[in-house]
Amino acid sequence: MPDSNHHDPQQPQMLRVRGQLRSFLERRHIRRRDYYLLEPIGSPFRKRYLAFDPYQGPGGDYFLVQTWPGGPRAEQKLRVLRGLKADSLLRVVEWQRRNGDIDVVLTWIEGISLAQYLDNIRIGRRPPVDPGEAVRLIYGLANAVCTLHHKHQIAHGDIQPPNVIVTSHPSRLVLIDFGSAWTTEATAGRAEGDGQHRCYAAPELQREEIPVGFLADQFSVSVLFFQLLTQQLPYGGLGGKAGRPEYIGRPQEALRPPSEVAAACRALPRSLREGIDRVALRGLTLAAHKRYPDRHAWLKDLFEVYARFRLAPELSPVESVLTRVLRWIVHPRGVR
């Protein structure tokens, strides 16, 4: 087995991964196992890696290894996260303290990051996400966020494209990287600047106010929803930065409904257009108290739109008139 402690730094360290030789960055011993860190995942500001354990199951298996700054709050958060069971959330496999930090091993979900997925759309490698598919994906993600808050009293705090995996078979959005998550009772003690990508973080987090966790995560999910629908960030590209003092002069009207931005949304029947616009705009309100007040209201509106997409599509007024004319031509009154 390769040894990461003694090697020529000019030569890559190699490991056989499911029949193929692959370079790795480091071998890290966590609890009773060795995990080979293959590559960094997501944001360069996070200590997060795709790892491989050659002895886990037949042929070995992949894992996600994260390193969190140690401390009582991190250990409390870890104890809570170990109880997560939802399909749209990673599961903690094991953990250990190391040099004042905490190494956490989580299950690995096959897929690509939402950041990479959106980049592929931008450069034309993938088609834009269909509005109905965007609603389905976001409805699943919203359920996962609500599970975090309701059952585990945890706010994720850093929902942005690099921290979301797009899986396949079936496709869904899975949250990763709980390094910025905080428990409800620790809300007021979050570190300054923790979990803030300014385009995706809620304005109240960026103003260093005591955050209302559910409302902040709701805002971030709504930014992702808008981006999936339109391939743009809301508020003219500002996203959550629109609530910062330096942008306070920009009018609230800078937030345009998805149906005004994306042709695919504009082409939908009116009930679907209005439903998508209503959910997206309310979740993106800069004033936290004007967003959905609880999970029931948020999920209810999302589900209603999701359910409408699953029903027979509603015809627009013009389509309805044309359909009635065609029926009259094919089956005129009095003709059997």
The per-residue pLDDT for 86 is: 66
Report the 10 Å Cβ neighbour count for 159: 29
Does 297 share its domain with 155? Answer: yes
Cis before 245 (ω within 30): no
| Count of the separate structural domains present in the chain | 2
Are residues 189 and 70 part of one domain?
A: no
Q: How much is the pLDDT for 196? A: 55
**Does some domain include residue 215?**
yes
**Average pLDDT for consecutive 10-residue bins of the chain (336 residues)?**
52 87 94 93 75 90 90 75 70 88 89 92 94 96 90 82 86 77 48 60 77 86 98 93 80 82 95 96 95 96 94 52 46 45
Same domain, 197 and 254: yes
Give domain status of residue 157, yes or no: yes
pLDDT of 153: 77
Statement to judge: residues 36 and 54 lie in one domain: yes
Q: Which pLDDT score is estimated for 186? A: 46
Looking at the structure, tell me whether residues 94 and 197 fall in a common domain. no
Q: Pick from 107, 124, 142: which residue ends a domain?
A: 107
The answer to whether residues 47 and 155 belong to one domain is no
Pair 203, 224 in one domain: yes
- Residue 8 inside a domain? The answer is no
Of 107, 128, 157, at which residue does a domain stop? 107
d(CA 260, CA 203): 24
Residues 73 and 130 in one domain: no
The verdict on 135 and 254 lying in the same domain is yes
Q: Are residues 172 and 291 in the same domain?
A: yes
Q: What is the pTM of this model?
A: 0.79
Contacts of 298 (CB under 8 A, 6+ apart): 142, 146, 218, 279, 283, 292
Q: What pLDDT, on the 0 to 100 scale, is given for residue 65?
A: 93
Residue 101: CATH number of its domain: 3.30.200.20
Please give the residue range of the domain that contains residue 38.
13-107
Shared domain for 63 and 165, answered yes or no, is no
β-strands 48-53, 61-69 pairing: antiparallel
**Both 246 and 134 in a single domain?**
yes
